[in-house]
Amino acid sequence: MNIKEASLKIAELEERYDTSSVRYGDQYVWPSIRICIWYILKKKNPPKLALIKSLIGLILRAVSSLVHLSKPVNHQIPEADYILVTTASSYLIQANNKRYSPLIDPVLEVLSRNNSTIKLDEENSKDLKNLYPAPVVNLNHTNFIDYLKAIQLVLINRPFIISICRDLDIHFLHLAISVIKRMVTTYAAERAFTRVIKRINPKAVFLICYYTPQNMGIISAARKRKIASIDIQHGKQGKYQGAYTHWNSIPPGGYDHLPDYFWVWGVESKDNIMQNSPERKNHVAVIGGLPWIDRFRRSEEFNSIPDWLNVKMEGKKVILVSLQAKLGSLKRVVPDELATAIEDSPDNWLWLLRRHHNHMYVKDEVLASLEGAADHKYIIDNLNEIPLYSLLKIADYHITAYSSVLYEAEAFGINSSVFSQDALDLFKQEISDGRFQHFDSGERLIQQVNISLDNKLMKWTGPKYIETGDKLAEKAFSTILSNGSVKQEQ
């Protein structure tokens, strides 16, 4: 299934099943099972042999966890009003020999003006240096009790899970193993973070990508102590993003693994999240914008292009390509139509092929796809060392499969083209409105770029997908912090 089909199938399930009945103790745990289903629906059922091997691996890890002991909390962590949780992979910006998280650090800067804050890193990272050195909290230290709880959860909800598996044509063992693996990590994170928040005693916790098993554990720990949790938008949250949309059924008091608030970039993201239950009082979306854009524009600290790239760009038009890994309908990182456009493009066009920071491994596949293109026409190495926004400032055009960089490019006045079936599903209206272009041949893409370079392609003047600015962020803080944890009856 593609992204749209998977999300609509889950929405159908929530109409037919009482998902609030999926519990473990007093916890409503459907979101954790839901995200496992969403991932499974986008892939084919694995062979039974693979499932058996996965089950054996799970059993061995459970046995080895018998010797694990809990690690103490770092008692040097001070009390603070607000915790901002990061991971090493979120530090995407490097400048002046320092590392910076474009999603967390601008929020921290605004919040710190009138409050005490602390940033905690979920994982260790070699040579992690950033503007705000953060203590590291190990949330992955599982023990045998975590495995017992995860297995009990599946056994208690076995009839429900079996019924859903039959409806979706999913192996029960496939979903059961996925849920157990996820919940083991969630329970370990919940246990570890409970000790952390007892030490820090915060009013709220901010995090990125709430639906990782670690972050769901953080959210659960916070909600037990009536501490607000806020998910900060990290990319496009479209109409069919399975972790954020189509929440048809929310129990009284809300789910234990969903954040109290979704901090979103603009009206469209808010509407997508709230569309199926606009009057709900739990898990609500608040527009805080993307403060990083305003922060970047106000400072030259992170805005630098290395000399080697300046030399290669001289006298050329720059086309930035935001590459993505093969997910959903995307079968190749560089499809034939894009490779053909690069091969046939004028010599004064320079293509910058920037890989997603989680998908650096696609380089060999990209190079194989571009065997017919002259080496001087494109660059793939070292681009991830340059801030994305620095590249957008020098770009004349932008291309991607369906990345949310589309909207960031738009904020910098750059037109974009998209490819892949997922793009047609996700951006149907935007393509129809002429906001984004879609191409299915190299000739068509070259034509689209030329029209834009000749200033014959109109810039989008409608509502912005991304808003930015300190005042908007401060307004969001006021809304969130005045309400606190929204554990209310619906």
Tell me the per-residue pLDDT of 23-50, one tens digit each, with 9 for 90 and over.
Answer: 999 999 999 999 999 999 988 778 888 8
Cα–Cα distance for residue pair 341/348, rounded to 1 Å: 13
Asked whether residue 427 is assigned to any structural domain, the reply reads: yes
State whether 382 and 278 are in the same domain.
no
Q: Which residues span the domain enclosing 401?
A: 307-453
State whether 176 and 215 are in the same domain.
yes
Looking at residue 50, its amino acid is A
State whether 36 and 183 are in the same domain.
yes
Which tokens hold the place of 143? 């023990």
State whether 177 and 238 are in the same domain.
yes
Burial class (CB in 10 A: 0-12, 13-18, 19+), 264: buried
pLDDT reported for residue 69? 58
pLDDT reported for residue 327? 66
pLDDT reported for residue 399? 97
pLDDT reported for residue 435? 92
State whether 270 and 328 are in the same domain.
no
Cα–Cα distance for residue pair 297/91, rounded to 1 Å: 19
Low-confidence residues in the chain, pLDDT < 70: 67-76, 95-97, 123-136, 327-330, 484-490
State whether 240 and 335 are in the same domain.
no
Residue 396 Cα distances to 161, 388, 416, angstroms: 50, 14, 10
How distant is the alpha carbon of residue 76 from its chain centre?
Answer: 31
pLDDT reported for residue 464? 83
Which among 246, 329, 260 is positioned nearest to 7, based on CA atoms? 246
pLDDT reported for residue 71? 58
Which among 414, 470, 474, 464 is positioned nearest to 294, based on CA atoms? 470
Asked whether residue 99 is assigned to any structural domain, the reply reads: no
Cα–Cα distance for residue pair 188/110, rounded to 1 Å: 31
Q: How many C-beta atoms lie closer than 10 Å to residue 392's C-beta?
A: 22
State whether 437 and 365 are in the same domain.
yes
Which among 204, 170, 235, 130 is positioned nearest to 9, based on CA atoms? 170
Cα–Cα distance for residue pair 194/196, rounded to 1 Å: 5
Helix 158-168 × helix 144-156 angle, to 10°: 70
Output the pTM of the full model: 0.85
Asked whether residue 181 is assigned to any structural domain, the reply reads: yes
Asked whether residue 183 is assigned to any structural domain, the reply reads: yes
Report the number of distinct structural domains present in the chain: 2
State whether 280 and 343 are in the same domain.
no
